[in-house]
Chain A
Amino acid sequence: MSQSAPSKYIKGATGDWEVVIGMEIHAQVTSRAKLFSGASAEYGGAPNDHVSLVDAAMPGMLPVINEECVRQAIRTGLGLEAQINLRSIFDRKNYFYPDLPQGYQISQYKHPIVGEGAVIVDVSPSERITVGIERLHLEQDAGKSLHDLSATESHVDLNRSGVALMEIVSRPDMRSSDEARAYVSKLRTILRYIGSCDGNMEQGSLRADVNVSVRRPGGPLGTRCEIKNVNSIRFIGQAIEVEARRQIAILEDGGKIDQETRLFDPGKGETRSMRSKEEAHDYRYFPDPDLLPLEFDQDYVNTLRAQLPELPDAKRARFIASYGLPPYDAGVLVMERASADFFEETAKGRDAKLAANWVINELFGRLNKEGLDVAQSPVSASALGAIIDLISSDVISGKIAKDLFEIVWSEGGDPTEIVESRGLKQVTDTGAIEAAVDAVIAANPDKVAQAKEKPTMLGWFVGQVMKQTGGKANPQAVNELLRRKLGV
């Protein structure tokens, strides 16, 4: 197990501490029906409406596996560069809870469908880590208990009961909350590219159990606590920070950490014990006698591999190699498949770096501000491409282009026609620019004198000329003329 850079250490009262993080991510498989029944897996629905007799565990009901869930688990495993097991086993994980009508969860224990893999994570523009994947297995989700409808009773809705989940278990390879957040974000990107999970954390399609322990740098591993069901990337970061500090405080006081399950309370900014007094879990796993081993052949896996879309790492590498983009820009563009597609359509036949700048800075900036995603953009890729063409062919200046972008964003329309009808064309006619330059110089003799002393005054003159020409003068031409006439 690797040791991290000292910059990641947490300073305690008695010296540095290193935090060690591993994660279990539960990702809901994108499918129409549930893992072992024909009831709908769709989110929501009226209470107990998406429930079959299988999901309610009525006597004599038998599970039959949904082949789409198997297909999606294999595709995800391939996306994680992981070993695919051609034979895997479903086991029963036994425990009692009202939202688990079977009294056990069908899961995979010793023989999961997917074995070891790896995820490459960019923590920052200059830092890249590899997080090992221990396994991925298929299992059933439980139902949902509502505790706030009554003071003395709980209400149970089994709509989620039996929905297919992929549990993706990482190795304890993360050393800071930043690394953990970047890992979840990257995993989410991969799942969304593959289309095996929509990654919607608000609806619980992606949930994280975070294992946190602390140790002296390079020392033996500490005792870990598991923080259950954290449902946003921001909360994952916060939960790790407060949990690491809680453990450090205990250890520095001479205490010891109890291995336990904890909950993160974002409101109070603390983690608290979930069931400290209860006995250790005893799930008594055993192979589910209702289900034969899950088997498929290598040809099937190869077919699925051949049909995988280009994944984010490959796309990023291609953007760097064939468009000449800086790695950071390429990374931003491939975060979402739709963003990458938008960029490629915009860049087709154009200056790719200019296109990347416009997509990242103007478009993404504006979309973020309005809380929209790229599919909802009011400016289409072809409209943005047209704006870029107008810049490249010197018809408009970069500044006017931003105004034009605003017009297309709020009013729509064809950029070329808008430039024509609203007279936004750049003035490249030297005569007209020269007249404006002369007028400004003539009107400001004091400033002209100052400019001879202080060449940075040039900017003021450029501004004045641009104002006179309604921002349409070619800034380069203005600069050159001013320099010549002012002699700076």
Chain B
Amino acid sequence: MSVDPAVVRRIAHLARIAVEDKEVERLNGEINAILAFVEALGSVDIAGVEPIASVLPMQMKKRADVVDDGGIVDDILANAPAREENYFVVPKVVE
């Protein structure tokens, strides 16, 4: 598996990371090097092997249906660059 400059631009866009044209070539090489490294995994025979979700044999923890959190609006908004009347304020987004 490998990527080309178009795919690099697309991944960057999907992740909302600004990538300048002159960086694309370098990133393309780096990503392909990483993919080539990981490619080694392809030599392992995994026919009939279930994906591992956890290395420990444990069940998913569950919580009871109890309201024990929230009501901390100042904490929630503490890092917001802009706020108004306890709302986050962001540049206009319209569909």
Contacts and interface: CB of A to CB of B under 8 A. Distances in A.
Interface of A: 31-33, 37-40, 46-54, 56, 64-70, 89, 94, 96-98, 145-147, 149-158, 263, 274-275, 282, 284, 287, 291-295
Closest 4 A-B residue pairs measured CB to CB? A68-B65, A39-B70, A38-B69, A155-B87
Interface residues of B, number: 38
Contact of A64 (B53, B59, B63): B63
A152 B91 CA distance: 7
A291 B76 CA distance: 23
A7 B51 CA distance: 51
A466 B89 CA distance: 72
24 contacts: A33-B65, A38-B67, A38-B70, A40-B67, A47-B85, A47-B87, A48-B73, A48-B88, A49-B73, A51-B73, A52-B69, A53-B72, A65-B63, A66-B63, A67-B64, A146-B87, A147-B94, A149-B84, A153-B89, A154-B93, A155-B89, A156-B87, A293-B53, A295-B60
A236 B49 CA distance: 45
A39 B63 contact: no
Nearest to B70: A39
A53 B75 contact: yes
Majority-rule SS of A interface residues = loop
A274 B95 contact: yes
Contact of A155 (B64, B66, B88, B95): B88
B22 interface: no
A52 B75 CA distance: 9
Contacts of A293: 53, 60
Given A31-B65, A67-B63, A52 B70 contact: yes
A399 B65 CA distance: 53
Contact of A284 (B14, B76, B82): B14
B26 interface: no
B91 A64 contact: no
Interface in B15-65: 16, 51, 53-54, 58-65
Contacts of A70: 62
Majority-rule SS of B interface residues = loop
B76 A48 contact: yes
B53 A287 contact: yes
Contacts, number: 136
A33 B16 CA distance: 32
Contacts of A98: 88, 90, 93
Given A47-B85, A49-B70, A56 B54 contact: no
A77 B53 CA distance: 25
A51 B72 contact: yes
Contacts of B91: 152-154
Given A33-B65, A47-B85, A153-B89, A65 B60 contact: yes
Interface of B: 10, 14, 16, 51, 53-54, 58-73, 75-77, 82, 84-95
Contacts of B77: 48
Nearest to A282: B14
Contacts of B62: 64-67, 70
Given A153-B90, A154-B90, A154-B94, 16 more contacts: A33-B66, A33-B69, A38-B63, A38-B67, A50-B70, A51-B76, A52-B69, A149-B87, A153-B82, A155-B84, A155-B87, A155-B89, A158-B76, A282-B14, A294-B60, A295-B59
B92 A154 contact: yes
A19 to B, nearest CB: 25
Nearest to A157: B87
A370 B44 CA distance: 71
A292 B59 contact: yes
Nearest to B77: A48
Contacts of B71: 49
Contacts of B93: 97-98, 145, 147, 154
A66 B68 CA distance: 12
Nearest to A101: B88
B86 A51 contact: no
| Residue from B54, B65, B75, B77 having most chain A Cβ neighbours under 10 A | B65
A50 B58 CA distance: 31
Given A64-B61, A65-B60, A47 B86 contact: yes
Contacts of A56: 76
B81 to A, nearest CB: 11
B70 A291 contact: no
A282 B15 CA distance: 11
A51 B67 CA distance: 11
A123 B85 CA distance: 47
Nearest to B75: A53
Given A47-B73, A48-B86, A147-B94, A32 B59 contact: no
A149 B58 CA distance: 48
B66 A152 contact: no
A294 B62 CA distance: 10
Nearest to B51: A287
B26 to A, nearest CB: 23
Given A31-B65, A33-B67, A145-B93, A291 B60 contact: yes
Nearest to A97: B93
Contacts of A294: 60
A462 to B, nearest CB: 63
A88 to B, nearest CB: 10
A50 B82 CA distance: 20
